[in-house]
């Protein structure tokens, strides 16, 4: 199971439809559960978040590490093999503070660019689907 905690504005219809298109293709353990928060409420939730090692926590931030899709797939597979759920954090307009980035297991950057929330959420779901297909040897991803 992959839980995504997302800050910022709610999704528009086009973003919900785009995410739903990829989500309907996901199979265990790659299925997604979303939780949306206003930015301040997400910050509060993360100050209380246990970061206790039972989940593999990925913090999406442009200051993180840029990895390939196969590397992302391997990280998810490793977490699942080790019995961990995956938690992906998508920040609001101001991103995450140093403390949150330091407490995460992995800080993931798509690029040095900053993306609108709806587009980024869609890109994350697509990468989860791509990771699933890489993991199962599907034809979706090309090298």
What pTM was computed for the model?
Answer: 0.95
Measured N-to-C along each axis, helices 117-136 and 13-23 cross at an angle, to the nearest 10 degrees, of 10
pLDDT by residue (tens digit) across 109-130? 999 888 888 899 999 999 999 9
Per DSSP, 83 falls in state T
Ramachandran bin of 91, using left for φ above 0, alpha for ψ from -120 to 50, beta for the remaining angles: beta
**Token pair belonging to 83:** 């019995």
**pLDDT average, residue stretch 91-120:** 91
pLDDT by residue (tens digit) across 7-62? 877 778 999 999 999 999 999 999 999 999 998 899 999 998 888 889 999 999 99
**Token pair belonging to 61:** 């931030």
> In this structure, which CATH number among 3.30.450.150, 3.20.20.150, 3.40.1280.10, 3.60.15.10 belongs to the domain 2-136?
3.40.1280.10
> How many CA atoms within 13 Å lie on the side-chain side of 125?
26
- Where are the domains positioned within the chain? 2-136
């Amino acid at each position: 199971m992959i839980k995504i905690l997302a800050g910022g504005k709610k999704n528009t219809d086009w973003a919900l439809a785009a995410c739903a298109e990829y989500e309907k293709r996901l199979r265990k353990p790659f299925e997604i559960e979303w939780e949306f928060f206003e930015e301040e409420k997400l910050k509060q939730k993360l100050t209380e978040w246990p970061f206790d090692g039972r989940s593999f926590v990925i913090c999406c931030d442009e200051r993180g590490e840029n990895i390939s899709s196969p590397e992302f797939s391997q990280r998810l597979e490793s977490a699942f093999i080790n019995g961990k759920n995956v938690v992906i954090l998508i920040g609001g307009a101001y991103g995450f503070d140093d403390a949150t980035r330091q407490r995460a297991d992995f800080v993931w950057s798509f690029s040095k660019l900053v993306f609108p929330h709806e587009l980024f959420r869609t890109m994350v779901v697509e990468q989860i689907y791509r990771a699933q297909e890489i993991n199962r040897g599907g034809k979706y991803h090309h090298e």
